[in-house]
Amino acid sequence: MIDFATHPDRYRHWTLRVDGPVAELILDVDEEGGLKPGYALKLNSYDLGVDIELYDAVQRLRFEHPEVGAVLVTSAMDRVFCAGANIAMLGQSSHVEKVNFCKFTNETRFGVEDASEYSGQRYISVIDGTAAGGGYELALATDYIMLVDDGSSAVSLPEVPLLAVLPGTGGLTRVVDKRRVRRDRADFFCTVTEGVRGKRALDWKLVDELVPRSKLRETATARAQEFAAGRPADAKGIALEPLKREFGEAELRYDTLAVTLDHENGAAEFTIRGPEGEVPVDVAAIHDAGVGFWPLALARDLDDAILHLRANEAELGTWVLRTEGDGETVAAYDALLETHAEDWLVHEITLFLKRTFKRLDVSSRSMIALIEPGSCFTGTLLELALAADRSYMLDGAFEESNQPPATVRMTSMNFGPLPMGNGLTRLETRLLDDSAALDALRDEIGEELEADQAEELGLVTFIPDDIDWEDEVRLAVEERRSFSPDSLTGMEASLRFAGPETMETKVFGRLTAWQNWIFQRPNAVGEEGALQLFGSGKQAAFDRKRV
Amino acid sequence: MSIDYNETIPNNVNLADDRRLLRALERWQPAYLKWWEDMGPVESDDLSVYLRTAISVEKDGWANYGHVRMPDYRWGIFLAPPEENRQIGFGVHKGEAAWQSVPGEYRSELRRLIVTQGDTEPASVEQQRRLGKTCPSLYDLRNLFQVNVEEGRHLWAMVYLLHAYFGRDGREEADMMLERHAGDIDRPRILQAFNEQTDDWLSFFMFTYFQDRDGKYQLASLAESGFDPLSRTCRFMLTEEAHHMFVGETGIMRIVQRTCEVMKEHDTDDVRKFGVIDLPTIQKWMNFHYSICLDLFGQERSTNAANYFSMGLKGRYQEGKIDDDHQLDGAVYNVPAFEDGKIVSLEVPAITASNERLREDYTKDSQRGVNRFNKVIRDHGIDFELTLPHEAFNRGIGAFVGVHATPEGKIIDEADWEKMKGEWLPTDADREFVLSLMVPVVQPGKMAGWIAAPRRGIHGQPLDYEYVKFH
């Protein structure tokens, strides 16, 4: 089992140092510390295990170290920053593993950018040596790139000439979209194995600053101090204590949710529980609650469950999303998040929820939301239904039940704080450019909406009644299972992201899709493919036909 | 293949017919001379040195000796004569006609090989630049300068290839050769052994014995290259490299000789007080230089080396004399590795092991000279043997990085290493002692007390010939 939970005490590849407003993340990959046997992580190359630690560190910096305003990403290795994803690891990975790996590393890099942009924790790469492929892509995800100007330190994206694959962790997109490297120069850059160094790297905007080696430490520290300004110096972080979870054969149990693993139907059934008990009254109470504060607990549990299912349960192709609990209390929590949005912790929690729902958006699983009596698809939790490919809402109540009919409710959380990768809210994406319909939705904020209203407003897909419910729901899941998982993945990914392109949608849509295609092609992974032969000394033989 | 000395840049590549290339090199030339002035032998511009200058690339082309001011040395571009219908001897292109221009698909690999090799040439001049101030004799001073000007010419050889075949990138790389400097913290030389200090003559002789021998093996494997201009230029460079190794070997030999004489004369091992270098100290220098030179060969298992081989860019030592398919299909080779605290031998695809194979050839070759040093010691009836340390000793690259081993190859822990390393590698006190002996001797025919006279002079000249004239 691949486990995404870790702790700095257990890191094998990174060291996290915090010194007042400046933190340092030092990459020092343990060659023998690969997740699986069969490859050595040489030259600071990484596998999923290395990236899980990075993700953990980025998260901890946000929650445990709010005083930190700048994070230096450095290497402990002489003359090597990072050599990117380990090629031998890629070579022995299944297609599913490769795709999962790339998705997670991409999400982690967007998480770094999210911290730079929204949390005021700005990341700075300090490259002393070579940053190749994924190594440079890691740097690209940071806010500022410093490169030693020693005549040999270089940044490079050698995937095309060396491996016949792509710099698939955002490299191609970030070079032109984020760093505004001219496309013709980028074209050259991405075909030259040893990359670009020194003045040309700076002139072409591949890096932000050149530094002599003797001044590196000094300059990096100075830059970090500049960047770090503006963080709440007196803020006290909250500890991200280990998740309480139990993984059984047929069920995953977390504090705020449970997932039933239905291998027969290829489905994972999520039940997300709404908050219970007293709602904290003020910011101090939120801080006191720490990881027990329901929205944060939910984000952490849901995040871990998504990652676990993606990495370990590839055959559970349909995720059924249910909620249970009191919508009123969910709304109260949403109001709390809105009222105290200026507080660093509340702000972080909202950002974390945003990123977690984004994970759902890019998960290659069919998602079906079931809205039943007793559920609490309100505000933040309504996002689950809006993220789903389809939703079914029971019209009325079940016979012989004394529960009131199912309702859904919008809160301000549905109108801005939790955007998708395309920069729009899920509602905006759903009702693309239909401002009248969106206005109509806004008028209903806070209202408990029954099925017919929800349908009319465009919030749910179907509203079967008690008589049809069971069959409709069963058929939806069974039918889903009969389709090709590949075509479903492609179809869903295409339909989910209506509206504008952003760097994020390009990376997950365009770049990743091309990469995944190339990962299947003989020119890369065939017996004579470049990725397969890398390291063997044998030369790849290409099928020269352009497709 | 005579050399045209009428041109600003002596050459045997018809530079006059290639105005574009000539212009490019003429632009580089002043930068080179400036570099020589700034980074070459210190305070040497006015010295008149008895140097040999090649006038052709034929065997007898060297017979041109005379006193020259070093900045006036005719650095130029000399390639060995072309071999007719030369074919690529190994890799996937085996049997195809050798390339006269750079194959597009291998452009960056070839450039990297040439840059890495080229970078070492000026580096050694920089490392040795202060030695002229402490020469043990005029004979040795002249040899130092001969080595220096030839390393300078080797740089020219690599720069010619970069200018002639690699366009703008090649010209930039050529400029960078003069911007990186040995031991410069901001712009170091590419390979670590070329950033170490060479500030005493024992180090110089060790350097020319060990580092230049690495050069020999690198050049020999590049001489096999399918890229014919590289092959031809390396073949010619090898003839110059041989002299450098001669300087190293005879230098060490003469030091050993002198030490043994003093040991016998005073019947003691404790000879430092007599102003000679004791044998254990010589061993320490040997341990240091040999171990850092093993690093120069790279990783035992190397993807780059495998690619260079299969692409036909860099062969094995004397590829033509090896009896196999020269493609290494399915062949295996044993390389050392470190597993579970033990040194083991791993069978790996031979194509990935060409660095290791070259290193083994180098080790055998290095041992031959050491045997000759030991014969000198034995002939004096002294019970001491100089040895090459184990491949796991003091390594910075490859399977033994981070491993502590004795010169015999026994694995020890860090504490023991820290305790013992001063017994095996030069300490500050050792360096201080050796440096204390480095007092210049510049009267013709005189030798410093710690080194024996050479057997004969240069080019038939007597030992008391004025090999270097101070004006």
Residue ranges of A 164-193 with Cβ closer than 8 A to chain B: 192-193
Check whether residue A104 and residue A163 sit in a common domain: yes
Residue A164 or residue B63, greater confidence: A164
Q: What is the pLDDT of residues B420-435, one digit of tens each?
A: 999 999 999 999 999 9
What are the Cα distances from residue A10, in Å, to A53, A54, A86?
A: 9, 12, 21
Dist. CA A515–CA A168, nearest whole Å? 6
Q: Is A501 a domain residue?
A: no
The answer to whether residue A543 sits within a structural domain is no
Domain check: are A257 and A218 in the same one? no
Q: pLDDT tier at B182 (50, 70, 90 boundaries)?
A: very high
Q: Domain containing A428: what range?
A: 245-496
- C-alpha A27/C-alpha A34 separation (Å) is 14
Residue B1 confidence (pLDDT) above 70: no
For A398, residues 6+ apart whose C-beta sits below 8 A from its C-beta are A372, A373, A466, A469
Which of A188-192, A230-234, A317-321, B270-274 is least confident?
A230-234
Give the three-class secondary structure for A530.
helix
Residues in chain B with CB shorter than 8 Å from the CB of A213 are 185-188
Would you say residue B15 has pLDDT above 90? no
What was the pLDDT predicted at B6? 63
pLDDT higher than threshold 80 for residue B454: yes
Alpha-carbon distance A153 to nearest alpha carbon in chain B (angstroms): 10
- Which of the two residues, A84 and B23, has the higher pLDDT score? A84
Same domain, A142 and A267: no
d(CA B90, CA A171): 36
CATH assignment of the domain containing A59: 3.90.226.10
Whether residue B460 has pLDDT greater than 60: yes
> A151 CB near a chain B CB, below 8 Å?
yes
Of residues B111, B112, B185, nearest to A213 (C-beta): B185
pLDDT of residue A232: 78
Rounded Cα–Cα distance for residues A541 and A533 (Å)? 10
B108 CA to chain A: closest CA distance, Å? 7
| Averaged pLDDT, A359-372 | 97
Token pair of A48 as six digits: 């999923």
- Of A476, A496, A516, the residue at which a domain comes to its end is A496
Q: What is the mean pLDDT of residues B7-23?
A: 84
pLDDT at A399: 86
Candidates B182, B193, B207; CA nearest to B38 is B182
Domain extents in chain B: 15-469
- Name the average pLDDT for chain A: 95
Could you read off the pLDDT of B48-74 as tens digits, one per residue? 999 998 777 777 676 689 999 999 998
A503 domain residue, yes or no: no
Number of domains in chain A: 2
Beta pairing, strands B65-69 & B48-52: antiparallel
In a domain, A24, yes or no: yes
Of A194, A214, A534, the CB nearest to B185: A214
Region class of A168: left (phi > 0), else alpha (psi between -120 and 50), else beta: alpha
Residue A182 and residue A283 in one domain: no
Residue numbers in B near A193 (CB within 8 A): 108-109, 112
CATH superfamily for domain B15-469: Ribonucleotide Reductase, subunit A (1.10.620.20)
pLDDT tens digits, residue range B128-151?
999 999 999 999 999 999 999 999
Which among B104, B237, B80 has a CA at the least distance from the CA of B166?
B104
**Is A46 in contact with A37 (CB distance < 8 Å)?**
no
CB within 8 Å: B351 and A193: no
Q: Are A118 and A153 in contact (CB under 8 A)?
A: no
Q: Give pLDDT tens digits for A259-290.
A: 999 999 999 999 999 999 899 999 999 999 99
pLDDT band of B89, cuts 50, 70, 90: very high
Q: Above 70 in pLDDT, residue B3?
A: no
B4 — pLDDT class (breaks 50, 70, 90): low
- Kindly state whether residues A223 and A270 are assigned to the same domain: no
- A118 and A161 in a single domain? The answer is yes
Region A147-165: what's the mean pLDDT? 94
Among A228, A253, A284, give the residue marking a domain's end.
Answer: A228
The mean per-residue pLDDT over the stretch B27-55 comes to: 92
Residues from chain A that touch B108, judged by Cβ atoms under 8 A, are 161, 192-194
Task: Please state the rounded mean pLDDT for residues B428-457.
Answer: 96
Helix (H, G, I), strand (E, B) or coil at A196: strand
Are A294 and A218 in the same domain?
no
Mean pLDDT of B425-452: 96
At residue A156, the pLDDT reads 98
SS3 assignment, position A253: strand
Residue B5 has pLDDT above 70, yes or no: no
Paired tokens of B345? 């031998």
Asked if residue A296 and residue A211 are part of one domain, the reply reads: no
The confidence score (pLDDT) of residue B53 equals 85
Query: How many interchain CB pairs under 8 A, A with B?
Result: 56
pLDDT tens across A185-197, in order?
999 999 999 899 9
Domain membership flag for residue A132? yes
Q: Which two tokens stand for residue B448?
A: 């410093």
Residue among B109, B111, B351 minimizing CB distance to A537: B351
Per-residue buried b or exposed e for B149-182, using 16+ beta carbons within 10 Å of the residue's own CB: bbbbbbbbbbbbbbbbbbeebbbebbebbbebbb
Q: What is the pTM of this model?
A: 0.89
Report if residue A240 sits inside a domain: no
**How far apart, in Å, are the Cα atoms of B185 and each of A128, A211, A273, B355, B464?**
12, 12, 59, 28, 41
Two tokens, residue B69: 């001011």
Q: Within this chain, do residues A176 and A298 fall inside the same structural domain, yes or no?
A: no
Question: Which pLDDT belongs to residue A241?
Answer: 96
Residue A28 lies in a domain: yes
Q: Percent of chain B scored above 90 by pLDDT?
A: 83
3-state DSSP assignment of residue B267: coil
A36 and A169 both lie in a single domain: yes
Q: Give Cα separations from A76 to A26, A28, B238, B338 (angstroms).
A: 6, 5, 39, 22
Give the model's pLDDT for residue A144.
98
- In angstroms, the CA B147 to CA B158 distance is 17
Residue type at position A274: G
Name which of B188, B305, B349 is nearest A150 (Cβ-Cβ): B188
pLDDT given for residue B240 in this prediction: 85
